[in-house]
């Protein structure tokens, strides 16, 4: 049976009673109890008690650090020591009521509720989370902590070189003085030289324009980024132009999945019966030879059907979708499209559905930044995403017949390259 809640004066009397029974010692008992819980949690994570020899262990204790602020309790503040590890970091779950993303979500819902912009659905979500009695000071403290963490993460230094960088944008809604407006969220993820992925950054913009993309890429450059062996993105004019200006002479792969959808839009629905299987054969190619064969077959059928407009478009886009063929075959499924970033975008959309309309830009950056920061930390310390080292990618690119960078005076995957492998333009056949 649930016990009734005590009133504040009853709680104060209980505290006085404890202090009268064990004057000054109860705080120490509570401190030792919490410290022991922390030590037990760490032992569970490491699989070993202090000074215990365990075969195969990969991490060890490495002293302690004092908690910056004493833990506030009803009996008074208590001082705790946080154990340190040789590799990585550890923070006790007992000291953190909510994870970063949960705190971000709570703070945004609270802000929307207090500001009076919540809908009936948001009010219900607010109640379901048990936040009906939350006050402004708690919201402010929670938001301030998250904002500081996200800002520090967004401005961290980047590596000089990455094997691959994926770029894409999603749209959300933010309330402003002039009403609700759609806002573009520009996102970049990269593959580090050690094979791990990382979220490089994000930026909010009123739309997916050349100026917004250029500002975003310039910010990555200012944080230390110099080169990516391959940029993967959709065919957006502003994005392409900004890459060429900020990182000139670097290769870019057009997302072949978006390209396939664009090709379907060039014909009528009845033509999709014969076009779609040909496109799928091309996109699903597992070897360079099968890609070239599928391309010849596609162009031949398009010419036979009299689709001159589609044939010219195919000629114009060949060099944009075939760059990935010059990289390790085991990477093709990951680098020929922006799908690795699309999966991340789906997670962002799933989380922001509970908000629907952000109260302001700061709250939007708080939630999405907290989510991306969590992925960044998990990816860089988790399993390797692609095993081929960056040096091997460079070796493949230097082989005879490989796509050379414009820094050597050649255009990447030019029409001349298509001719060299027997892929003549449709109009010439």
CB 351 within 8 A of CB 177: no
Which residue in 334, 326, 188 sits closest to 257, CA to CA? 334
- Report the chain's C-alpha Rg in angstroms: 28
pLDDT surpassing 80 at residue 153: yes
First-to-last C-alpha distance (Å) of the chain: 84
pLDDT above 70 coverage of the chain, percent: 70
- How many angstroms separate the CA atoms of 28 and 50, rounded? 22
Q: What is the pTM of this model?
A: 0.66
Tell me where in the chain the CATH 3.30.420.10 domain(s) lie.
Answer: 98-255+338-398
- How many angstroms separate the CA atoms of 104 and 381, rounded? 23
- How many angstroms separate the CA atoms of 71 and 94, rounded? 11
Which residue in 206, 204, 222, 209 sits closest to 160, CA to CA? 222
What are the distances in angstroms from CA 226 to CA 58, 65, 248, 336, 409? 34, 37, 10, 22, 19
The DSSP bridge pattern shows strands 227-233 and 161-176 to be parallel
- The predicted-structure confidence for 320-354, as pLDDT tens digits, reads as follows 999 999 898 889 999 999 999 988 888 888 878 76
Contact residues for 390 (Cβ-Cβ < 8 A; gap 6+): 161, 163, 193, 229
How does the average pLDDT of the chain come out, rounded? 78
pLDDT surpassing 70 at residue 266: yes
Comparing 114-128, 254-268, 278-292, the range with the smallest average pLDDT is: 114-128
pLDDT band at 394 (very low <50, low <70, confident <90, very high): low
pLDDT surpassing 70 at residue 122: no
pLDDT surpassing 60 at residue 21: no
Give the CATH fold of the 98-255+338-398 domain: Nucleotidyltransferase; domain 5 (3.30.420)
What pLDDT was estimated at residue 55? Answer: 81
């Amino acid at each position: 049976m649930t016990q009734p809640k005590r009133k504040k004066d009853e709680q104060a009397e209980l505290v006085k009673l404890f202090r009268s029974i064990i004057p000054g010692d109860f705080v120490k008992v509570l401190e030792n109890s919490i410290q022991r819980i922390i030590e037990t949690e760490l032992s569970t994570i490491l699989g070993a008690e202090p000074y215990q020899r365990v075969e195969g262990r990969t991490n060890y204790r490495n002293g302690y650090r004092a908690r910056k602020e004493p833990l506030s309790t009803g009996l008074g503040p208590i001082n705790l020591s946080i154990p340190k590890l040789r590799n990585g970091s550890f923070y006790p779950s007992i000291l953190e009521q909510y994870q970063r993303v949960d705190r971000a979500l709570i703070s945004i819902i609270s802000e929307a509720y207090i500001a009076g912009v919540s809908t009936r659905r948001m009010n219900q979500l607010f109640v379901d989370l048990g936040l009906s009695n939350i006050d402004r000071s708690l919201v402010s403290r929670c938001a301030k902590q998250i904002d500081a963490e996200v800002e520090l993460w967004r401005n961290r230094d980047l590596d000089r070189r990455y094997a691959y960088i994926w770029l894409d944008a999603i749209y959300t809604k933010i309330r402003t003085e002039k009403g609700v407006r759609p806002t573009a969220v520009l996102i970049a993820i990269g593959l580090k030289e050690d094979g791990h992925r990382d979220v490089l950054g994000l930026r909010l913009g009123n739309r997916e324009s050349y100026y917004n993309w250029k500002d975003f890429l310039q910010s990555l450059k200012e944080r230390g980024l110099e080169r990516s062996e391959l940029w993967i993105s959709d065919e957006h004019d502003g994005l392409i132009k900004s890459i060429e200006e900020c990182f000139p002479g670097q290769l870019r792969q057009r997302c072949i999945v978006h390209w396939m959808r664009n090709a379907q839009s060039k014909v009528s629905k009845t033509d999709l019966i014969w076009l779609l299987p040909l496109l799928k054969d091309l996109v699903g190619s597992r070897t360079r030879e099968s890609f070239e064969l599928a391309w010849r077959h596609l162009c031949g059928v398009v010419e036979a059907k009299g689709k001159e407009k589609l044939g010219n478009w195919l000629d114009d886009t060949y060099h944009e979708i075939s760059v990935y063929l010059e990289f390790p075959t085991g990477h093709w499924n990951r680098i020929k499209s922006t799908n690795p970033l699309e999966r991340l975008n789906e997670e962002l959309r799933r989380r922001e559905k509970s908000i629907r309309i952000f109260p302001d830009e700061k709250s939007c950056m708080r939630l999405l930044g907290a989510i991306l920061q969590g992925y960044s930390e998990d990816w860089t310390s988790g399993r390797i995403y692609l095993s081929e080292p960056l040096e091997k990618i460079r070796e493949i690119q230097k082989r005879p017949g490989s796509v050379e960078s414009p820094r050597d005076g050649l255009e990447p995957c030019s029409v001349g390259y298509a001719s060299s492998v027997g892929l003549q333009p449709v109009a010439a056949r």
